[in-house]
Amino acid sequence: MNLDHTPRQTVLDQLRSTATDPDRRILFTGATVVTMDPALGTLPVGDVLVQGTTIAAVGGDLRAQGAAEGAVVVDAAGTVVTPGFVDTHRHAWEAQLRRIMPDVDDLGAYVTTTLLGYAPVYRPQDMYTGTKLAALTAIDSGITTMLDFSHNSRTAAHSDAAVRALLDTGIRGVHAAMSPHFGAWDHQWPADVARLQKEYGSELLTFRLATLATDEIAGPEIAYGPELARFAKELGIGVSVDAVFGTSSSQAILAWERQGLLGPDLTLIHSTGLTAEAWRAIGASGTTIALAPTSDAQIGLESAIPAVDEALSVGVRPGLSIDVEVALASDMFTQMRALHAIQRMRAVNGVYGTEREPVRISTTDVLDFATLQGARTNGLADVVGSLTPGKQADLLVINAEEINNMPLNDPIGTVVLGSDARNIDTVLIAGQIRKFNGHVLDVDLPALRAEVTASRDHVLAAAQAANATAP
């Protein structure tokens, strides 16, 4: 992959030494370029020029146009270059509890164990550690934008810790703040979101308000409605609504329609088991949808079927999300494959025994959901999600010549069905190298391991002690 046989360490040294130059140019050459821009399509062999934080040009041979002059040149032959993946909903603070309940089989068990049992004993430093671990893992697996649905904002210090973790990792973060479901907290939410936005808001870190759909789980204070919608509008931020399930959420959606609270700045997460009337309202208003394919299917949320067909039927192309690492995989490849398989299975099963033809989604569809549609869902469609000149340079270089990907026959099929985190050679976020030659940069793994383990051990011990003294 090294044009002119430049050693990879030399390329990395060049990238590091020029990192603070706001006009630094990086030219990726000879790749198969999957732009996810409908006007640009896929280039079987192409180049991508990055200048500063943005994508400057995409073309067949930019070297012939002088693009290599003064640039750090990265040979990308044998790779697929794509936009970074966009995660539309992850409870990042839980990451040190990964797979602690891998076979959880209903929402109630998750809520009782995690939100009622573990969440109340989290300290600010545990928020920091969990969020940092989730963000670094996201980067390692090619997720360049992560919406952190941070629903354990017990104090301002808890929120500050979660936000600092996003900043320290260099991920493009969307901090969606919500109060905790249970236990003691300072009742600083939602007002504190204004402080967070003013103090930390930047090109790389944006904010949303996080709420629930109804008052069934944790009471009316955190249920979406006119008051929270008004607060978000005053701050100029979007709203992400979790736990959108079934009849009660369908009734809430129709109420929001009557109140004028639906629209493109609102994201409904999961959206399983909704009525046809609720979907009509969603489609008519342009409200966005964040699917959590493995969460819905594995945990069994409402109908347990990711609502991709319902969304597409009303003209909504959804984003994808990871949700909870206490029980689920951490990467976007898993979400794409799960959704691709489930929808196609459902499509064929629905017409089995008839002469009707199944309507199946494609690998291009799910990659679109994981990139451009995820960006739109997070309110960042003009910023990331495609390799469009002028957008931020959030991109992946995926090795197509390793044993699990060779030979490269269909680039989108290779990304969606063949690749995993080991194949992601390079990750750029806002033009900065975050992963190179297969390694996330500037991470002290032994120190991180010790930090994560110590935090996990504290949470488990403190939760056990609290449970032992509970009346």
How far is Cα 115 from Cα 120, in angstroms, rounded to an integer?
Answer: 7
Whether pLDDT at 60 is above 90: yes
Whether pLDDT at 68 is above 60: yes
Whether pLDDT at 2 is above 60: no
How far CA 66 is from CA of 15, 30, 184, in Å, comes to 19, 15, 61
CATH of domain 85-377: 3.20.20.140
- Residue pair 48/387 in contact (Cβ under 8 Å)? The answer is yes
Whole-number pLDDT of residue 420:
97
**How many CA atoms within 13 Å lie on the side-chain side of 374?**
35
Q: β-pairing, 79-83 with 85-90?
A: unpaired
Query: pLDDT per residue over 109-155, tens digit each?
Result: 999 999 999 999 999 999 999 999 999 999 999 999 999 999 999 99
| Whole-structure pTM value | 0.97
Whole-number pLDDT of residue 5:
55
Q: Stretch 191-196: mean pLDDT, rounded?
A: 98
Q: Stretch 159-188: mean pLDDT, rounded?
A: 97
Domain ranges of the chain: 3-84+385-439, 85-377
Please state which CATH class domain 3-84+385-439 belongs to: mainly beta
Query: pLDDT per residue over 206-240, tens digit each?
Result: 999 999 999 988 788 999 999 999 999 999 999 99
Q: Stretch 237-258: mean pLDDT, rounded?
A: 97
Q: Stretch 230-251: mean pLDDT, rounded?
A: 97
Whole-number pLDDT of residue 3:
40
How far is Cα 69 from Cα 51, in angstroms, rounded to an integer?
Answer: 12
Query: pLDDT per residue over 431-447, tens digit each?
Result: 999 999 999 999 999 99
Whether pLDDT at 261 is above 90: yes
Instruction: Concatenate the DSSP letters of all residues of 137-175 into one string.
Output: HHHHTTEEEEEEEE----SHHHHHHHHHHHHHHT-EEEE
Q: Stretch 48-75: mean pLDDT, rounded?
A: 96
Query: pLDDT per residue over 404-414, tens digit each?
Result: 999 999 999 99
